[in-house]
Amino acid sequence: MSKHHISATVNGDPVEFLTSSGATLLDVLRDQLNLTGTKEGCGSGDCGACSVILDGRLVCSCLVLAPEAEGRRIETVEGLSDGVRLHPLQEQFLKHAALQCGFCTPGFLVAAKALLDANPDPSETEVRYWLAGNLCRCTGYDKIVRAVMDTAAELRQARIPA
């Protein structure tokens, strides 16, 4: 019936899109904005593959209706790298081989970025609890946790003035 004209910010850029009432933010990111880094896993908020940061908070984009995004700020996995260099999290995921099939990886990266933005010095327990909404069927999680811990240490080091 009704189409909504939505204005939002995605990875720092203003975007506008038309959406139906029942489309999810995930649908719009992937199918209209062509930001296919965000994955659809379960579609019910259980797996975290579609994680994005919405106004500074980590959410499952499959559980957000697209019209809700009006005026909101959205960060996706595409915004992690500056276009030249990978984000330290991405480097550490590669270094630790913290992925196998890779389908859950964008969600883990975005979730880990939200964690490190909020808590630069998380304990391993905090990392594991924070990432409990992201499911990985390949790695057994250990390499992911180590990659996040090492990134946190690296970023803390980088913050110390020389």
Q: Would you tell me which residues interact with another protein (CB under 8 A)?
A: 1-2, 4, 20-22, 24, 43-45, 48, 51, 54, 57-60, 62-65, 67-68, 70, 111, 114-115, 129-134
Residue 156, classed as helix, strand or coil, is helix
Give the number of other Cβ atoms within 10 Å of residue 100's Cβ: 14
Nearest CB to another protein, comparing residues 58 and 89: 58
> Measured between alpha carbons, how far is 66 from 55 in angstroms, rounded to an integer?
14
Nearest CB to another protein, comparing residues 9 and 20: 20
How near is the Cβ of 126 to another protein at its closest, in Å?
11
CA terminus-to-terminus distance, the chain? 59
How near is the Cβ of 135 to another protein at its closest, in Å?
10
How near is the Cβ of 85 to another protein at its closest, in Å?
27
How near is the Cβ of 81 to another protein at its closest, in Å?
22
Tell me how many helices (H) and strands (E) the chain has: 5, 5
**What is the DSSP-derived secondary structure letter of residue 58?**
E
